[in-house]
Structure 1
Amino acid sequence: MNPITKTIRVIVGILLILIGLIGGLIPIFQGWIFGIPGLMLLGSVFPSVKRMTKKIVNKAKKKIKR
């Protein structure tokens, strides 16, 4: 992957997560809409974030099946 593309993905991913965190504090603003794409972007660059995201998704799937 191009270093410029990696840098842009990291910056946009961090911005989306920050917007998601702020959105979690404001009751009329849905933060998860921005947080999930931010984690996906960071997961495409950092393998540790990708593993963490997969664990969260697997836990959510297990809870939905119950």
Structure 2
Amino acid sequence: MKTVIKLIKVIVGIVLVIIGFLGGLIPIFQGWIFGISGLLLLGSVFPPVKRWTHNIIEKAKNKIKSKES
């Protein structure tokens, strides 16, 4: 059962990343929402993607903190 759930997460994550990429090419469509959601979903299955997204989130938090100071 866990394998099926992981497979569904991977498929949905890839679809969301593709929609996010296509949304970046179309000016009216906000693709970043789908891209981030897809990466976070893929990160729950693949540890390297999780580390990568975690590093990006930490960098964004540090930038926000440095601008507040």
> The TM-score by the shorter chain falls in which range?
over 0.9
How many residue pairs match? The answer is 66
For residues 4-53 of structure 1, what are the alpha-carbon distances to aligned partners after superposition, in whole Å with 9 as ceiling and x for unaligned?
10100000000000000000011111111101110111010000000000
Shift of 1:62: 1.4
TM-score, length basis structure 2: 0.90
RMSD over aligned CA atoms reads: 1.1
- 1:51 aligns to what? 51
Gaps of 5+ in 2: none
Alpha-carbon distance between aligned partners in 1 of 2:49 and 2:43, rounded to the nearest angstrom: 5
User: How many angstroms apart in 2 are the aligned matches of 1:29 and 1:58?
Assistant: 27
Structure 1: stretches of 5+ with no match in the other structure:
none
TM-score (norm 1): 0.94
Distance 2:45 2:52 in 1: 13
Letter in 2 for 1:56: I
The one-letter amino acid of 1:51's match is: R
Segments of 4+ moved more than 3 angstroms? none
Structure number with larger C-alpha Rg: 2
Is the aligned partner of 1:25 residue 2:25?
A: yes
